Chain A
């Protein structure tokens, strides 16, 4: 199984900060990497697919990069509604696996 490791597991940020979350796979997954946002009590929401493609309707302050084993999700200017937990997911091979999540909290 492909293991996905996210870091950090949590972070504190102020509105307007730039936030970067990393996700590492234990083998190459090409660009088969998605990012999701999950607010408390809600279903996850797709933000980024294929490592760097912005899902329709998602604000442009979200961006993704990377290929192979190392990936990054960046929020250029954090807004109040961005405080949530973020997950990466590899879709390269089954079983599909998720990172452990990164909780973004208000400083």
Chain B
């Protein structure tokens, strides 16, 4: 099973809302990632968690707040987003963070209005 599950699949939120994206994997992977993908662009790294600790934050604005409650779950809390934050948010996991296969979820299509 190489499945990474993301919920919700679609999300529309206002600029004053607070929402959360969720990601779950049961492959025993110890590294989890958030990527952002704009239309017709490659995925861009936002955050890396390794063994439930935040190891990389690619200078992401504080309106995006990641959380890793346990080794199977990854959340992305959203607050006071801008319309330009509308994108496909992808979660991925890998066995660890050192050059191993990364498996992606289907993504959450976020629209900020």
Partners in one complex: no
Which positions in B face A, CB cutoff 8 Å?
none
